[in-house]
Amino acid sequence: MKKWIENQVRIGQKYERLYPIVEAIFSTLFSSGATTKKPPHVRDFITVKRHRIVVFFALLPCLLAGIYNVGYQALKNQELTIHFIAAMRIGFSAVMPMLLAVYGVGLLIEITIALKKQKEIQEGLLVTGALYILILPASVPVWLVAGAFAIGLFLKQWKYYFHPSLIAALIVYACRPSAMTVAPIWTSGHVTLWLFIAFSILIGSKMISKKIMLSAYLSAIVTIFVLKLFAPHDLPTAWILLLGQFFFATLFIATDRESGPHIKDAHVIYGVGIGVLAMLLRYITEKPASVMMAIAIIQLITPFIDQWALRKRLQKRIPNRIDLCYASDDHATKTL
Amino acid sequence: MAQVSFMKTITVPNTCEINCLGKPSLEVKTLEAPELIGVKPPSVSNFELCLHVSIGDHVQIGTRLFSDKKYREVHILSPASGQISDIRYGPKNALDVIVIKRDKEESRLQISDQKTSLSTYQLSQVTRDSLVTSLLDGGLWTSFRQFPFRNIPDPKQIPPAIYVSIDQDEPFLPNGTVLLKDHIELFGIGVAVLNNIANGNLYIGVSQKNPRIKSALRELITHQIIGDYPANDPGVFLYHTKTSSELNNAWYITAQDVLRIAEWIVTAHYPIDQLITLGGPGVSKPMHYKTRIGMSIKDIVRETTITPNPRYIAGGIMTGRTTTQDDFLGADEHGVNVLSEETDQEWVPYIKPGLYRPTSTTAFLSALLPIRRHPLTTALQGSPRDCISCGDCMPVCPVNLLPQFIHKHLENNQENLAIEHGLLDCVECGLCSYICPSKIELTATFKSARSRLEKTGVSS
């Protein structure tokens, strides 16, 4: 049956245009069964799906804790007895419509793009969708959540240095400035433990850059102390660094490999930029969303940081001189 | 310089151990020459051949079978005496193999005026030109390769340097210790010849994992190389010792060919034997074999049990070519590896913990277990996807390239930028393709771009 369906969508067959959808379904359910056609004849077991699923597994407990947190806050505000089941039920009823809308819209866009380009459907949506929900407050209307996410995904087709969930969140903040002052879904002490577990999974599996995390944290600490010296403030340091948006954003968004710097030499500068700017904006605006703003600003200049690191790296190489690579009689036709 | 009493150490940081089952034992078995011997052209892109024989002709050991059209003094000689029984052609009507039906009693052709062998003393008195002529007459010039395109060098050129790597890390090719066992003196003669040809600019590297050869040849070895696959590739050796752009045109030669050159110089007989490996998880008894050059795959695997649904690879499992039982091994291919063609499918493999998944990453729980060898297969292990900029290809490139950037430049036809990024330093080791989670054929793309550059130069 599976082979028959696959044959129907092969190049030249009647339903060849449906190949991306069939491929997405079968590659989700089974291993590919394809063999290498060119050397190397063996391949590593790592796949894009494995990349995504590791991050998603790290994120999933945070998502569940965030859902509980929404219910917990609701019960607390109504001064009712806080019961786990009740909190989860309220949390699910608030967050599930957002999740369904985001994944529904996201899937629709990914399928449309894949059908148009006749390429395989990419797996990034799984993580991006969950991340996006977590950085928004639960009070944002579903239509705005889905609309902003659609714009973020479309922009992603051209702007490689922006995390789509970050762009979508910034669109939401622009449409509903009040959302910036409300704590996002995940913010609570309930999530802290899960964040540390997620941190361990992501660092252990080398899915995120240690350099970015470390440089962002060190620079944030230094900035806080400098600010304390010159502009005394009441911001509690530990809260900002461990429980706040900073931990979550640096862990899941700043370290994203696609929207972060592509050259490892640029990781420290990128991390320091995020650390310093996030603390400065946090101090100036006193709003939780300031960390997202800081990451977006740094991602705006990431291509330049990457270019700088690239130039520096290429300067270390002994250049390939193609004019030297041909026998003397061939020079005239083959040189630069 | 080769004759130095101390060796330098090169540590190649970006390497990768391919933990595959089927490593050949150090035992060497001699395989009798079969009835049919096949002679294939060298696996280089710049060799345009001019055929000297036709079906039905009788040839002796050392008879010229074909020559290069560009460098007419470069010949391929017959490793067997007998009748040409078949001449097979491949795609684009290119010569694939000349099949010789061996005589029961083989005869040798007196190849050159060098009727007697040369002693080491005589060797030191010989001029470079006469050595070059001797190697050309002896059909051994095709042992040399020139960077960056790894083609056969112009015999009239003087190389900026010659590189020799004694060990080969690729699974599974002949072990340096097995190769040089009882041949240390012969290797020394080969080194003396190369030293003359390279005007003293000779670099000889040995793996740190090969202490016996390191101590036996300590007077000759210039560098010890630390690292896993492909640290001992001559291209990697060159990259880590390169001091100027001129060295991009350096030559290299395998240790096995150094021995063949030495044998030719010492005996004045065209060397017809080679050491090969039969390895890989698809073979019941992986080991080394001493064989005649040009044996068919069928004859090499005859004495061992092969896995059902096998893929035969002429060469190593990372860079070798797919072949069939009826094909022959080229003179520059020193191994046959057998893998299983795995097309079985399993449910949602990406969700499983992966305790027994072989991987060089840490995304599976197998990373927590001690390193063990796995029966790797030809499975692609995933479906092709767009580049996700994960950067996994960068830390495995032994010559510090940025494969994902080069790939994007080549996709956009920006060959100049790809060259600026070091495309010509690529050693085509295959590690970037091996590790890529998006299953992008990076190595194949680089190989075809380099081949295009070699033929047409830079277009933009």
- Which regions of chain B are under pLDDT 50? 1-5, 115, 460
Measured between its terminal Cα atoms, the distance across chain B in Å is 39
Q: What is the pLDDT, as a whole number, of residue B23?
A: 95
Closest C-alpha to B319, from B168, B170, B119: B170
| Rounded-to-integer distance, Cα B416 and Cα B413, Å | 9
DSSP, collapsed to helix, strand or coil, labels residue B191 as helix
A270/chain B closest Cα distance in angstroms: 16
Do the beta carbons of residue A168 and residue A98 sit within 8 Å? Answer: no
Q: What is the pLDDT of residue A260?
A: 87
Query: In terms of domains, do A54 and A135 share one?
Result: yes
Q: A163 contacts in B (CB within 8 Å)?
A: none
Our CA-based measurement puts residue B458 at a distance from the nearest CA of chain A, in whole angstroms, of 6
Judge if B263 and B278 occupy the same domain: no
User: Which residue range is the domain that position A88 belongs to?
Assistant: 48-106+115-181
Kindly state the tokens that stand for B173. 């090719």
- Is A190 contained in some domain? no
Chains A & B: contacts with CB separation below 8 Å: 225
Tell me if A44 and B361 make a contact (CB, 8 A cut-off).
yes
The whole-number pLDDT of residue A18 equals 83
Domain of residue B94, residue span: 32-102
Residues B125 and B254 in one domain: yes
In a domain, B87, yes or no: yes
Q: What is the pLDDT of residue B318?
A: 96
Do residues B261 and B335 both lie within one domain?
A: no
In a domain, A95, yes or no: yes
Q: Are B109 and B272 in contact (CB under 8 A)?
A: no
Q: Which of B267, B296, B328 is the last residue of a domain?
A: B267
Same domain, B169 and B213: yes
A278 contacts A295 by C-beta, under 8 angstroms: yes
The 10 Å Cβ neighbour count of residue B322 is 17
Question: Are A159 and A227 in a shared domain?
Answer: no
Do B229 and B324 belong to one domain? Answer: no
Same-domain status, B309 and B212: no
| Amino acid sitting at position B380 | L
Query: Do B93 and B126 sit in the same domain of this protein?
Result: no
pTM to 2 decimal places: 0.92
E strands of B153-235, at which residues?
162-165, 202-207, 223-226
Query: Quick one: angle between helices A164-175 and A290-315, nearest 10?
Result: 150
B355 located within any domain: no
Cross-strand pairs, B146: B151, B251
Separation between Cα atoms, residue B121 and residue B192, nearest integer Å? 10
Residue A333: per-residue pLDDT: 41
Partner-chain residue, chosen from B360, B390, B423, that has the shortest CB–CB distance to A257:
B390
Closest to B245 (Cβ–Cβ): which among A39, A262, A324? A324
Give chain B's domain count: 4
Cβ partners under 8 Å of residue A61, min gap 6: A194, A197, A198
Q: Which of B242, B267, B292 represents a domain boundary (last residue)? A: B267
CB A249 within 8 A of CB A305: no
Q: Are B257 and B140 in contact (CB under 8 A)?
A: yes
Angle at B105 between CA B101 and CA B107, to 5 degrees: 90
- Taking an 8 Å cut-off on Cβ atoms, the answer to whether A262 and B341 are in contact is no
**Are the beta carbons of B394 and B404 closer than 8 angstroms?**
yes
CB-CB under 8 Å, B311 with A38 = no
Taking CB atoms and an 8 Å cutoff, what residues of chain A touch B400? Answer: 313, 317
- For residue B243, give the chain A residue with the closest CA: A318
A10-15 contacts at long range (C-beta below 8 A, 24 or more positions apart): none
SS3 content of chain B, % helix, strand, coil (to 5): 25, 20, 50
B241 located within any domain? yes
Our measurement of the distance from residue B359's CA atom to the centroid of its chain's CA atoms, rounded to an integer in Å, reads 25
**Closest residue, chain B, to A36 (C-alpha):** B380
Residue A332, domain member (yes or no): no
In a domain, B353, yes or no: no
Q: Are A294 and A173 part of one and the same domain?
A: no
Check: CB of residue A169 under 8 Å from CB of residue A176. Answer: no
Q: Smallest CA–CA separation between A189 and chain B, in Å?
A: 28
Both B150 and B237 in one domain: the answer is yes
Residues A229 and A295 in one domain: yes
- Asked if residue A120 lies in contact with residue B388, where contact means CB atoms within 8 angstroms, the answer is no
Q: For chain A, how many structural domains are there in total?
A: 3
Long-range contacts of B442-447 (CB under 8 A, 24+ apart): B442/B393, B442/B403, B442/B404, B442/B407, B443/A38, B443/A39, B443/A40, B444/A38, B444/A39, B445/B407, B445/B410, B446/B403, B446/B406, B446/B407, B446/B410
Q: Which of B259, B116, B124 is nearest to B182 (CA)?
A: B259
- ipTM for the assembly: 0.94
Q: Are residues A70 and A163 in the same domain?
A: yes
Across the interface, do B380 and A334 touch by the CB < 8 Å criterion?
Answer: no
pLDDT of residue A204: 87
Q: Which residues pair with B58 in a beta bridge?
A: B83
Q: Assess whether A122 and A57 both reside in one domain.
A: yes
In this structure, the answer to whether residues A53 and A173 fall within a common structural domain is yes
Walk along chain A (336 residues) in steps of 10 and give the mean pLDDT of each run: 75 79 86 90 93 92 88 86 89 93 94 88 88 87 93 77 84 83 65 81 88 92 85 66 75 87 92 93 80 90 93 90 59 40
Contact B385 A28 (CB under 8 A): no
With beta carbons under 8 A apart, name residues in chain B contacting A51: 363, 388, 390, 437
Same structural domain for residues B140 and B252?
yes
Count of residues making up chain B: 460
d(CA A54, CA A201): 8
Rg of the Cα trace of chain B? 22
Please check whether residues B295 and B394 belong to one and the same domain. no
Q: Which residues lie across from B83 on neighbouring strands?
A: B58, B101
> Could you tell me if B361 lies within 8 Å of chain A, comparing CB atoms?
yes
Q: Do A82 and A166 belong to one domain?
A: yes
The Cα diameter of chain A in Å comes to 89
Same domain, A23 and A61: no
Q: How far is B235 from chain A (nearest CA, A)?
A: 13
Q: Which residues of A touch B341 (CB under 8 A)?
A: 35
Claim to verify: residue B441 and residue B401 sit in the same structural domain: yes
Kindly state whether residue A4 falls inside one of the protein's structural domains.
yes
B432 and B403 share one domain? yes
Q: Residue A287 pairs with which residues in a beta bridge? A: none
My answer on whether omega of the bond before B66 falls inside 30° of 0, hence cis, is no
Q: Is residue A245 part of a domain?
A: yes
Do B434 and A262 make contact, defined as CB atoms within 8 angstroms?
A: no
- In terms of Cα–Cα distance, which of A1, A252, A302 is closest to A128? A252
Contacts of B381 in chain A (CB under 8 A): 31-32, 43-47
CB contact under 8 A, B380 and A32: yes
In a domain, A189, yes or no: no
Residue A191 belongs to a domain: no
Instruction: State the Cα–Cα distance between residues B57 and B55, nearest whole angstrom.
Output: 6
How many C-beta atoms surround the C-beta of residue A2 within 10 A?
A: 13
Pair (A67, A123) in one structural domain? yes
> Which pairs count as long-range contacts for B404-410, CB under 8 Å and 24+ apart, including other chains?
B404/A262, B404/B442, B405/A262, B405/A310, B406/B446, B407/B440, B407/B442, B407/B445, B407/B446, B410/B445, B410/B446, B410/B449
pLDDT of amino acid B344? 79
Per residue in B224-242, pLDDT tens? 999 999 999 999 999 999 9
* pLDDT tens by residue, B111-143: 765 545 566 656 767 888 889 999 999 999 999
Q: How many CA atoms lie within 13 A of B459 on its CB side?
A: 12
B359 touches chain A (CB under 8 A): yes
pLDDT of residue B113: 58
Maximal CA-CA distance, chain B: 70
pLDDT score at B348 = 87
Task: Pick A120's closest partner by Cβ from B345, B384, B389.
Answer: B384
Interface test with B, best of A325, A331, A335 (most B CBs within 10 A): A325
B390 assigned to some structural domain: yes
Give yes or no: residues A228 and A151 share one domain: no
Cβ-based neighbours of B123, under 8 Å, separated by 6 or more: B189, B192, B193, B196, B265
* Whole-number Å distance between alpha carbons of A135 and A244: 11
Residue A242 has what pLDDT? Answer: 61
* A54, A162: one domain: yes
Q: Domain holding B325: CATH number? A: 3.10.20.600
Nearest-CA distance B256 → chain A (Å): 23
